[in-house]
Structure 1
Amino acid sequence: MKNIFSLLLLAFIIVSCKNNEQKTELETVEVETPEIAYASFGDKIEADNAVDASVMAEKFKAMQVGDSVSSKMVAKVDEVCQAKGCWMRLDLGNDEQVMVKFKDYGFFMPKNIAGKEVIINGKAFVEETPVEELRHFAEDAGKSEEEIAAITEPKRTYSFLADGVLLIEE
């Protein structure tokens, strides 16, 4: 009986030592993450911590005329001023837009970026845009005389004064 017990103990020790000697090798796999290229306009900004346009839309809805908040957001460009590139409208979703102008009229955007994504940094605010200014924007956007004449009332406008913009290049 002692022999059987000794043999079992010896077998257990050998198996235990063998299990401890086994080495697990981890295979290192390199994953390529494509770098996103940006064209920068205005002040130098970073792409991190930008909120989605839909999140910004909710913030705008909660704001009153005259309220402002510092923000950074990412959104798709709907329109750009075709005269100089001095403003753009970004899609907030649900048929809503934000009118973006550039701090101190210090930089302009390319006129051919409709449909591309941008990251903007600056001040978001709500204002009431007068009829005259709405008509000016409509003219800059290339709207027809009839469309411009149809603008007869001021409009509550979601606005953004950008100090820096990153254009996501594809």
Structure 2
Amino acid sequence: MKNYILTIALAITVFACKEEKKAPLEADTTSEITQVEYQSFGDKIIADDAIAAKSMAEHYKNMQVGDSIPSKMIAKVSEVCKAKGCWMTLDLENGEEVMVKFKDYAFFMPKDIDGKEVIINGNAYIEEVSVDDQRHYAEDKGATQEEIAAITAPKRTYSFEADGVLLKQ
């Protein structure tokens, strides 16, 4: 009887200590983690919690001139200042754009990032842009003299003052 119990105990010990082999995952894309590389400009920010451009467009619709909200948004670059990268416009995916300037002109963006994805952090606000400022921006992006002269009225715009930007590589 004693040998019988020792044999059972030995068998249990062998099976309990045996390493379990797991089958390799086959086409399980849910467990795949994609590492996205970003180039950072301005203050250090993280990519987490950024809202989509389309969602940000809805926030802008509910704002008045002078309103401001802290925000983090992900969007595609429509245009960058060709003079020195001191501003950019982002596509809000609804036919609208947001004009992005950089806090205290502390940093500039590369001039060749049209169409690239960025994450911006800072303050979203509505502003009324004067004729002089509109003409200045038009000149920066290379507009013709006729296009510049055609600007004759202030314009309500979606604006953003970014303190940090991540440029997707």
Q: Distance in 1 between matches of 2:34 and 2:21?
A: 28
Aligned residue number for residue 131 of structure 1: 131
Q: Deviations over 1:33-74 (max 9, x none)?
A: 231010000000000000000000010010000000000000
**C-alpha displacement of 1:32:** 3.8
Aligned residue number for residue 59 of structure 1: 59
Larger radius of gyration: 1
Aligned residue number for residue 99 of structure 2: 99
Amino acid at match of 2:104: D
Amino acid at match of 1:142: G
Q: Deviations over 1:104-137 (max 9, x none)?
A: 1000000000000000000000010000000000
1:102-117 map, 5 Å: 102-117=102-117
Aligned residue number for residue 69 of structure 1: 69
Aligned residue number for residue 82 of structure 1: 82
SS at match of 1:54: helix
Aligned residue number for residue 38 of structure 1: 38
Aligned residue number for residue 147 of structure 2: 147
1:17-28 map, 5 Å: 27=23
Q: Distance in 2 between matches of 1:160 and 1:118?
A: 13
**C-alpha displacement of 1:25:** 6.9
SS at match of 1:120: strand
Aligned residue number for residue 165 of structure 1: 165
- Superposed CA RMSD in Å reads 1.5
Amino acid at match of 2:140: D
**C-alpha displacement of 1:93:** 1.8
Aligned residue number for residue 10 of structure 2: none
Q: Distance in 2 between matches of 1:67 and 1:26?
A: 56
Q: Distance in 1 between matches of 2:83 and 2:48?
A: 31
> Is structure 2 residue 118 aligned with structure 1 residue 122?
no
Aligned residue number for residue 6 of structure 2: none
Amino acid at match of 2:66: G
Q: Distance in 2 between matches of 1:163 and 1:46?
A: 12
Amino acid at match of 2:113: I
Q: Distance in 1 between matches of 2:94 and 2:124?
A: 18
Q: Distance in 1 between matches of 2:32 and 2:60?
A: 37
Alpha-carbon contact 2:57-2:94 (below 8 Å) kept: no
Q: TM-score, normalised by structure 1?
A: 0.82
Q: TM-score, normalised by structure 2?
A: 0.83
**C-alpha displacement of 1:146:** 1.0
Amino acid at match of 1:156: R
